[in-house]
């Protein structure tokens, strides 16, 4: 077992993957990479540059834009995590709106988009010492990751969590709208043709519907110990 391993965290939308992954990374001194933010950043760029109109995503235009989109992460000590930048602009605060959420499943289903982002993710994580969260990390990006976690939670519990987050930020959304987005993204993510969300055979399941952050951390510590002491 190498010194610093790759930890792959996949699972449903809004089940706290990023919060969990970020906490683990801080605990271990690993780098945390939120791959959903990368798909969201491409979606935001497509929205702002005319490839999405009235919710309709133009695949050809999005794919034609890919070479113009330069994504990078820069560590923000205040958040204890990295912020995402597109062509040098900080977009962290703009990628989590319901508008982006409603289009990101379509954008992330395009082969050319996935090819570009998967290659970047492999480049960022191949040395180990990373906690990467997404939908296809344990199945496609790092199929040999030493520790794979598949996270899930009840859909209404997830919608309530995301609703709270959005309304606290001042977004004008209803719980029903957020619930519908959560359910439809699950469906889209699990049924798309390329790299659908699925549990890797060797992933361990964490259902955190009724678990506190502390309980999740205790669960993780035991699993990490089990894997690294082999």
| Least distance in angstroms from the C-beta of 35 to ligand DC | 4
**Three-state DSSP string of 195-215:** CCCCCCCCCEEEECCCCCHHH
| Least distance in angstroms from the C-beta of 67 to ligand DC | 20
Q: Determine if 138 is a binding residue for ligand DC (CB under 6 A).
A: no
| Least distance in angstroms from the C-beta of 40 to ligand DC | 5
Using CA atoms, how far residue 121 sits from 6, 22, 38, 76, 115, in Å, is 12, 16, 9, 19, 10
Q: Determine if 36 is a binding residue for ligand DC (CB under 6 A).
A: yes
Token pair belonging to 166: 């959005």
Q: Which span (78-86, 129-137, 157-165, 207-215) binds ligand DC, by CB under 6 A?
A: 129-137
Collapsing DSSP to helix, strand or coil, 186 comes out as helix
Nearest to 194 by CA among 133, 139, 121, 122: 139
Q: Determine if 35 is a binding residue for ligand DC (CB under 6 A).
A: yes
Q: Determine if 135 is a binding residue for ligand DC (CB under 6 A).
A: yes
Token pair belonging to 199: 């549990």
Q: Would you put residue 206 in left (φ > 0), alpha (ψ -120 to 50) or beta? A: beta
Nearest to 149 by CA among 96, 224, 53: 224
| Least distance in angstroms from the C-beta of 201 to ligand DC | 18
| Least distance in angstroms from the C-beta of 192 to ligand DC | 8
Interface with ligand DC (CB under 6 A), residue from 16, 41, 81, 108: 108
Q: Determine if 102 is a binding residue for ligand DC (CB under 6 A).
A: no
Q: Determine if 134 is a binding residue for ligand DC (CB under 6 A).
A: yes
Residue numbers of the site for ligand DC (CB under 6 A)?
13, 35-36, 39-40, 104-105, 108, 134-136, 185, 189
């Amino acid at each position: 077992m190498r010194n610093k391993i790759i930890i792959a965290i996949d699972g449903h939308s809004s089940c706290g993957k990023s919060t969990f992954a970020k906490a683990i990374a801080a605990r271990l001194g690993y780098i945390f990479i939120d791959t959903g933010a990368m798909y969201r950043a491409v979606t935001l760029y497509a929205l702002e540059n005319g490839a999405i109109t009235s919710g309709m995503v133009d695949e050809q235009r999005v794919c034609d834009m890919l070479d113009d989109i330069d994504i990078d992460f820069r560590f923000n000590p205040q958040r204890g995590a990295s912020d995402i930048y597109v062509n040098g602009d900080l977009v962290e605060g703009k990628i989590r709106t319901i508008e982006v959420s409603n289009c990101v499943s379509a954008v992330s289903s395009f082969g050319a988009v996935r090819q570009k982002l998967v290659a970047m993710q492999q480049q960022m994580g191949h040395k180990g010492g990373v906690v990467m969260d997404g939908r296809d990390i344990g199945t496609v990006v790092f199929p040999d990751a030493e520790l794979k976690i598949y996270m899930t939670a009840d859909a209404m519990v997830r919608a309530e969590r995301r609703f709270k987050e959005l309304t606290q930020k001042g977004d004008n959304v209803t719980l029903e709208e957020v619930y519908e987005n959560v359910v439809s993204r699950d469906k889209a993510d699990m049924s798309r043709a390329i790299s659908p969300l699925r549990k890797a055979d060797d992933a361990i399941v964490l259902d955190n519907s009724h678990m506190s952050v502390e309980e999740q951390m205790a669960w993780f510590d035991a699993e990490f110990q089990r894997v690294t002491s082999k």
